Amino acid sequence: MCGIVGYVGEQSAADVLFSGLARLEYRGYDSWGIALAAPDGLQVRKKSGKLAGLRDLLATETLPGTVGIGHTRWATHGRPDDVNAHPHLDCHGHIAIVHNGIIENYVELREELRRQGHTFVSQTDTEVIVHLLERELADPDALRADGGYVGEYARSGAPDALLTAAVAATIRHLDGAYALAVLWDALPDCLVAARKGSPLIIGLGQGENLIASDIPAVLAHTRRVAILNDGDLAVVRAGGVEFLDGGLTAVTEPEIMEVEWSLEAAEKGGYEDFMLKEIHEQPTALRATLQGRFEDGRVQLSELTLSDAELAALERVFIIACGTSYHAGLVAKTLIEKWARIPVEVQVSSEFRYSDPLVDARTLVIAITQSGETIDTLFGVREARAKGAKAFAVTNVVGSSVTRPEAADGVVYTHAGPEIGVAATKTFTAQIAALNVLALKLAQARGTLTADEIARIFAELNELPGHIEQILLHQDDIRSCAESGCCVNACTSLFLGRGVGVPIAMEGALKLKEISYIHAEAYAAGEMKHGPIALIDASVPVVGVATDGSTYEKVVSNIKEVQARDAIVVVVASEGNESIRNRVDHVFYVPRTSELLSPIVATVPLQLFAYYIAKSRGCDVDQPRNLAKSVTVE
């Protein structure tokens, strides 16, 4: 979940690293650090806290060097302090590394290295890597004498041979996930990168090249990006990049992509926060996700590898996801069961592979992950495919790990553009839109909906972006309610819904606690009286999803139950429903739509509600405490 940037070129490395890290700070903001190759050795600066500390440092200190590595951290092993911040150094300060991932066998490696005389200063798992590198580089003859690919490369005579061979020898000892960038003062014009299980890309520029955890970090320099495959290494110089597989054999045709979106897409664009900007980008994201998906009277998902006959033969669907994506999966369960008539089970990814799931060749696993790098979801997909299941991925990031052929049999992209705010907004509604398309594709293949029925649903789907634009134009009621004392000063809150309103209540509660730090729980409204109603009094806001649908009257009855306990009641309701206005304290109206499509429009007021409460409480909505955007650790 940490952010890595490396630079080799002619510009000030410190400035480039700061700029790149600023675009990756959503991946972690507990501490920061940089290491530069300077004439008198490595120059290292690192500190706990947000990246503003590096900006302040660069305003007062000129750091020399055109080659360097940088890191912004989300703490796993060791508290977020100056010592545990990356980069980490060997005992003599000649080697610096930055790392994203988890080294699972670091305790055993640390004890082995201690017995050999190495001294550790941090609590991190990462520090063992740099000491392993130090051990390898301390004995070049042993590297050259290695009987395998490491020795062959070390003897090759390449200018970077020893460092690259040492990195390859080091990663043979590591269990777990890693994305690494290595800087050695004996080779100050070169960086070596390696990855397994954690994302890492190479930005290919003119007279400069970069390493990064994600695309926004390199867009100021290039749109040409190479994706490192699992197990690959890269030797990065200003004049070019050598790509190597895990056996140190040259990769002559690395996968290179041209990034379509611009640097401006990753900027605030005049909005106060990324989160508010991304809420307002939802109509555009929905249109892009739905574009071209229904043509000539047919659902178009040509990127999926299963034929209609194979889709028709499916007997069961598993959906695996985490956090906000899990809530999108709960919506998809209803869509698939209603339209395609296939039983669906939704499970959080972190539990899926440990539950010995009953999957086989007639099972489809749908993995939903905004970043395409969520490690629990990736492991879940691997588990399912090992048991013979087919797997589709729904993601926003082209070239991410879940899109690789070894991960999924097909990918449905959400074309939401970069989402920088840590709390997912536009990617959530885009996921639901993509899952609508996938559910309709299954219904089409199985013949459970007619062509006319599918056409009518798509026509209504295409109206949703306009509906959201209307909500965004009329948000005064949402803001005034959110800024009222009963909401801003609440200690806890309850979100209620029924049917497809339940996952939207769950998402509303998650957004509120993520960015405002107010405790919030979500329940199926009928379950509220089986325990949670004990929490209700005049200080507890209750938010209900009460859009038109088959369970509307039931939701209203449940709302009356909390009103009888003096709760402050806020509801999301369909336009034209004037009767509910006299029954509750606040109403957020949304345009009418059919019940199964209502989650997309009902979500937006709850995003805004959480946003304005958090802003009124003085919270950082883009970088909530203890969170990170891309969860690449179990």
The tokens of 485 are what? 């004392």
Dihedral (CA of 120, 14, 235, 372) sign:
positive
Phi, psi of 422 (to 5 degrees): -65, -40
Query: In a 3-state reduction of DSSP, which class is residue 616?
Result: helix
For residues 131 and 563, what is the distance between their CA atoms, to the nearest angstrom? 63
For residues 9 and 210, what is the distance between their CA atoms, to the nearest angstrom? 8
Give one DSSP letter per residue of 88-151, joined into a string: EE-TTS-EEEEEEEEETTHHHHHHHHHHTT----SS-STHHHHHHHHHHHT-HHHHHH-SSHHH
Q: What is the pLDDT of residue 529?
A: 83
The tokens of 420 are what? 């920088």
Half-sphere exposure of 61 (CA within 13 A, CB side): 12
Q: Which residues pair with 542 in a beta bridge?
A: 494, 569
| Cβ atoms of residues 225 and 256 within 8 Å | yes
Helices (H), 517-634: 552-563, 598-616
| Cβ atoms of residues 35 and 42 within 8 Å | yes
For residues 66 and 10, what is the distance between their CA atoms, to the nearest angstrom? 6
Which residue from 436, 461, 482 is spatially nearest to 615, judged by alpha carbons?
A: 482
Domain ranges of the chain: 3-264, 268-462, 470-634
Phi, psi of 247 (to 5 degrees): -95, 15
Which residue from 317, 142, 171 is spatially nearest to 248, judged by alpha carbons?
A: 171
Q: Which residues pair with 7 in a beta bridge?
A: 68, 210
Write out residues in the chain with pLDDT < 50, as ranges. Answer: none
Which residue from 103, 95, 138 is spatially nearest to 123, judged by alpha carbons?
A: 103
Tokens 């999957």 -> residue: 359
**What Cα–Cα distance (Å) separates residue 452 from each residue in 78, 291, 297, 484, 596?**
58, 19, 8, 47, 17
What's the pTM?
Answer: 0.84
Catalytic annotation, pick one of 2, 322, 481, 619? 2
Residues with Cβ within 8 Å of 531's Cβ and at least 6 positions away in sequence, in order, are: none
The tokens of 171 are what? 């990663």
Which residue from 143, 134, 179 is spatially nearest to 161, judged by alpha carbons?
A: 143
For residues 169 and 149, what is the distance between their CA atoms, to the nearest angstrom? 9
Q: What is the pLDDT of residues 69-88, one digit of tens each?
A: 999 998 888 888 999 999 99
**What Cα–Cα distance (Å) separates residue 457 from each residue in 140, 351, 425, 512?**
66, 34, 23, 31
Q: What is the pLDDT of residues 405-463, one digit of tens each?
A: 888 999 999 999 888 899 999 999 999 999 999 999 999 999 999 999 999 999 999 99
Dihedral (CA of 445, 450, 452, 456) sign:
negative
Q: Is 629 a catalytic residue?
A: yes
For residues 109 and 100, what is the distance between their CA atoms, to the nearest angstrom? 18
- Residue type for position 289: T
CATH match of 268-462 with 3.40.830.10: no
The tokens of 467 are what? 């509906």
Helices (H), 291-390: 308-312, 323-339, 349-352, 375-386
**CATH no. of 470-634:** 3.40.50.10490
For residues 256 and 398, what is the distance between their CA atoms, to the nearest angstrom? 11
Catalytic annotation, pick one of 333, 441, 615, 629? 629
**What Cα–Cα distance (Å) separates residue 18 from each residue in 21, 202, 245?**
5, 17, 30
DSSP state of 498: -
Q: Is 268 a catalytic residue?
A: no
For residues 555 and 598, what is the distance between their CA atoms, to the nearest angstrom? 15
Burial 46-82 (b: 16+ CB within 10 A, else e): bbbebbeebeebbeeeebebbbbbbbbbbbbbbebee
The tokens of 459 are what? 């026509």
Q: What is the pLDDT of residue 128?
A: 96
**3-264 against 268-462: fold identical:** no
Half-sphere exposure of 153 (CA within 13 A, CB side): 23
CATH class of the structural domain 3-264:
alpha beta
Residue length, the chain?
634
